[in-house]
Amino acid sequence: MKNTVISYYSESITASLKNSSRLITGRVGFTIKYGEKLSLIGETGSGKTITALSIMGLLPQNVKCSGLEMTLKCGGGKTYRNEEVFKTVGSGIVYIPQNGLESLDPSRRVRGHLYDTLKKNGCPKTELGERALQMLRLSGFPQPENIIDLYPFQLSGGMAQRVTIALAMTGRESLIIADEPTNGLDRENSDNFVRLLDSSFPQAAKLIITHDMALAALTDSVLVLKNGTVMEKGPSKEVLENPRCMYTKSLISALVKNGMKETPVLRGENGSCPFYSRCPSACEKCSSVTVKTAGEHVWRCI
């Protein structure tokens, strides 16, 4: 694990409700190396965002992560373990929200957002103006002086995402967590975002939460979640071009280019596999589902 930036494993994440508790995720584990991108994919409610929040120590009060084992290597070679990792949010860990426009304070100009973040990270007052323009330039604005005094409502979705990247660049990032970063962007701007992420943070590990399979294909590896269960993971090219799990196959079949094939509920009962009720290939053997491997490719199916 010499080149690993983050190693993450949790036994379970559970929510305490009024009269009961609910399992949100089961065992989830992954590692990301320097400069690599891992995408978490799956339907809404599969546990993608809650996994990211557990890394940052930002779970809701009624949600508990059990069996957490986590290490994060930050600048200078310092390694943080388990709950120590939470202290690095905003510096070692940088979060890029789902919607850049919604994450910005509508009453403040871009300049104010950048200045606040730069001050937090120790930038001298005399260098704020120059550093703010530099961050905007590096995040894809060729004429940052035309952007810096705009309010969020004057920005397009793509521009707002580039501003959030500029804000992220003010830290000493080791891990970038991007939650649905291309939501609302067209294909060209989505691809530009990934290129910008790589050029802006060449050494950082990147965890990308997405529904966008085209975006997932641009990452190094993929982890597929269904109802909090890891269904398949491995190199993105291998998983997306040769999926072994029926759930991953259904996600790919649902793409527009593949005919948007639905996976309706086929049976009322539940099985040991989270996809059992909708799986067209379910059979008696599904009661003994095991994890199979082929090199780095891991899947959960018969």
Specify whether 298 is located in the same domain as 272: yes
Mean pLDDT in residue range 277-285: 79
Mean pLDDT in residue range 169-177: 78
Q: In the structure encoding, which two tokens stand for residue 86, read together?
A: 């939470």
Per-residue DSSP letters for 227-244? TTEEEEEEEHHHHHHS--
Specify whether 31 is located in the same domain as 84: yes
pLDDT above 80 (res 284):
no
Residue 96 phi, psi (nearest 5) = -105, 115
Other CB atoms closer than 10 Å to residue 287's CB: what's the count? 12
Specify whether 299 is located in the same domain as 187: no
Specify whether 183 is located in the same domain as 291: no
pLDDT above 70 (res 259):
no
Burial of residue 248 (CB within 10 Å: 0-12, 13-18, 19+) is buried
Residues above pLDDT 90, as percent of the chain: 40
pLDDT at 139: 78
Mean pLDDT in residue range 117-122: 81
Specify whether 62 is located in the same domain as 177: yes
Compute the distance between CA of residue 28 and CA of residue 9 in angstroms, rounded to an integer: 6
pLDDT in tens, 180-238: 877 766 777 777 778 878 887 888 999 999 988 888 999 999 999 999 999 999 999 99
Specify whether 248 is located in the same domain as 268: yes
DSSP H/E element including 149: none
Query: Torsion angle of alpha carbons 254, 260, 266, 270, nearest 10°?
Result: 20
What is the domain count for the chain? 2
Angle between helices 187-200 and 157-168 (to 10 degrees): 10
Specify whether 58 is located in the same domain as 42: yes
DSSP code, position 151: -
Which of these three, 223, 241, 259, is where a domain ends?
A: 241
The SS3 call for residue 91 is coil
Handedness of CA 22, 27, 33, 39 (dihedral sign): negative
Mean pLDDT in residue range 255-259: 62
Which of these three, 194, 216, 241, is where a domain ends?
A: 241
Residue 152 phi, psi (nearest 5) = -55, -35
Compute the distance between CA of residue 54 and CA of residue 83 in angstroms, rounded to an integer: 10
Could you list the residue range(s) of the whole structural domain that residue 74 is in?
Answer: 4-108+167-241
pLDDT above 70 (res 50):
yes
Q: In the structure encoding, which two tokens stand for residue 198, read together?
A: 């790589």
Specify whether 9 is located in the same domain as 85: yes
* Domain assignment present for 249: yes
pLDDT at 172: 66
Which of these three, 220, 241, 262, is where a domain ends?
A: 241
pLDDT at 170: 64
Specify whether 31 is located in the same domain as 53: yes
pTM reported for the whole predicted model:
0.84
Specify whether 197 is located in the same domain as 298: no
Specify whether 301 is located in the same domain as 271: yes
